[in-house]
A and B are shown apart, each in its own frame.
Chain A
Amino acid sequence: MIEGILVEGLLYGIMALGVFITFRILDFPDLSVDGTFPLGAAIMGISVVNGVPLMLALFIAFSGGLAAGAVTATIHNKLKVPNLLAGILTMTMLWSINIRILGNRANLPLLRQRTILSAFTEMISGVVPYPWSVLLFFLVVGLTIKFLLDLFFRTDMGLTLGAMGDNEQMIVSQGVNPEIMKVIGVGLSNGLVALAGAFAAQYQGFADVNMGQGIVVAGLASVMIGEFLIRSNRIGLLTLRVLLGSIVYRGIMYLGRYYGYHINLTPNDLRLLTGLLIIASLAFSRYQNSRNESARLRRSIRAAAGPPGGGRP
């Protein structure tokens, strides 16, 4: 049970890192994620079946997501459409494209195919037994991606991306074309999501065109839960809390799936649960902000009205 939660948390945590980049760093709410997750799975699946070298397949999956993200950003840049609509357009188009990639079918089983995951677990099966070897695999993959991402956001380009999400005028004034930065940022985000999809296909043993449905909301829920766990402005902690948030989110979903029947919850209710979770975190952070605001106001009024001698009432 616990290893299942951790594995899923880390696996979908890679996707949540992608969602974190667009929603939190770029301030570009991107819904193409629902299409790029199965895109990565489809590319990985069809490559595995056709005997493409596995690492190359992973690279193609990442590039596919990158390209899809670039399409979303370009629609937004050139046609001046709101980013939400641009994402929905890409997501919708990807559904058809994913079916084409899978060879005109909606589902592709990968059982008893050699994947990166199965190769890894076989290789270390003598040292680490089965469910834990899967956990070790996703721990290595998840942390590697996290550290690479931390590194990227410390580079000049990464910092500029962060500044753009905060204040677009500032980077325009610095002679940086925001359109190019959006293509890079949204592309990177969707590349990560496709990568997560590629690993999900290996983990679940199939690639399905519908496996991306609602994934962006799950990612957002993970990001928001993470924000309650750690408060910081250091990128290393920001990405860490996304992974932790994803694990907590999967834990909540697990509880809903296995113990929910006590309160008449079925697996079909999990999306409702996810939505309510997001609404609750939104409401809570709003409440917290207003409380901080009024506390600050009270402090400043007291400071202004206080006797100049500093005596306490």
Chain B
Amino acid sequence: MIRLEGVSKTFHPGTVNEVVALRPIDLTVREGDFITIIGSNGAGKSTLFNLVAGTFPASSGSIRINDVDVTRAPEHIRAKYIGRIFQDPLLGTAGSMALEDNMLVCYRKGIKGLRISLNRKLRAFFRTQLEDLQMGLEHRMKDNVRLLSGGQRQALTLLMMVLSRPELIMLDEHTAALDPKNAALVLDLTRRYIEEYRLTSMMITHNMQQAIAYGNRLLMMDKGEIILDVEGDEKRSLTVDGLVERFHAIRHRDLESDEARLT
């Protein structure tokens, strides 16, 4: 459903500040995949997300969503297929607007008309959805979102994203800024939604245990490359130690070849 062919990204090409953030990569995300992505800082995980979402254009290669070429499509066009959550809980909601208004803006994708959709029926629907979060938010629908805690805001963002039923959801360390209790809560909710609505998902995480425990496929990235792509039984049998070992094995080979090139 998502197909990347030879996609790469170089920032400030041809200048002294040139940075190769992503080397040409091929990646196919199948429908129903739940991919976890790990890698150290600067490995290119967020760059990969930004390229798929269209935050900035790719330096080379092509990106197809459902066999539609979106390589040159701006972010808001691709957003019709994609739901995305950032690490910063403030980025997913409008703090100075009421909770129900936030939900209205998000529950359907695309440009909005001059209808007044927020009626009693829709409010009731929003309320049942909020009750499902079990955070008591159903009583605070007229409150500004700014008054909520980070965990509540991120849970709300997750709920609002699911409401529009995107074809692909991209989670960029969406629990990293939360305290452990809220992080576990949001992560649990994430898994529930993904299973309930059979969402195709990609999740960046720093936590190897999480990367192994969640999803059916795991990508490991390093220095702008995907160095490991495992799924199915192989993924299920992974352990943190095993992962670290494999990482060292691959990195070691990389280093050798680099040294060989230098001499």
Binding site for B on A (CB under 8 A): 151-152, 154-157, 159-160, 162-163, 166-167, 169-178, 180, 233
Contacts and interface: CB of A to CB of B under 8 A. Distances in A.
B139 interface: no
A154 B115 CA distance: 9
Given A163-B94, A173-B84, 15 more contacts: A151-B116, A156-B105, A157-B111, A157-B112, A159-B101, A160-B112, A167-B90, A170-B91, A172-B75, A174-B105, A174-B164, A175-B111, A176-B76, A178-B76, A233-B97
Given A154-B118, A156-B113, A233-B144, A174 B94 contact: no
Contacts of B111: 157, 160, 175-177, 180
B94 A176 contact: no
13 contacts: A151-B116, A155-B113, A155-B116, A156-B112, A156-B114, A157-B114, A163-B105, A170-B93, A172-B76, A172-B79, A174-B79, A175-B109, A180-B111
A159 B93 CA distance: 13
A140 B92 CA distance: 40
A82 B176 CA distance: 33
A175 B106 CA distance: 9
B115 A163 contact: no
B44 interface: no
Contacts of A177: 74, 76, 111
Contact of A170 (B75, B94, B115): B94
A176 B110 contact: yes
Interface string B100-133: 0110111001111111111000000000000000
A167 B94 contact: yes
A174 B95 contact: no
7 closest A-B pairs (Cβ-Cβ)? A156-B112, A166-B94, A175-B109, A175-B79, A175-B80, A163-B94, A157-B112
Contacts of B92: 170, 173
B101 A162 contact: yes
Nearest to A181: B111
Nearest to A169: B91
Given A159-B112, A176-B110, A166 B104 contact: no
Contacts of B84: 173
Contact of A159 (B75, B86, B105): B105
Contact of B77 (A175, A178, A180): A175
B83 interface: yes
Contacts of A172: 75-76, 79
B65 to A, nearest CB: 13
A162 B96 CA distance: 9
Contacts of B104: 156, 159
Contacts of A171: 105
B55 to A, nearest CB: 9
A154 B80 CA distance: 23
Contacts of B86: 169
B177 interface: no
A170 B105 contact: yes
Contacts of B141: none
Contact of B97 (A163, A174, A176, A178): A163
B98 interface: yes
Contacts of B118: 154, 159
A159 B113 CA distance: 10
Contacts of A167: 90-91, 93-95
Contact of A156 (B74, B90, B116): B116
Contact of A166 (B77, B83, B97): B97
A166 B90 CA distance: 10
Nearest to B80: A175
B97 A159 contact: yes
A147 to B, nearest CB: 14
Nearest to A167: B94
B98 A175 contact: no
A155 B105 contact: no
A126 B248 CA distance: 94
B83 A173 contact: yes
A59 to B, nearest CB: 18
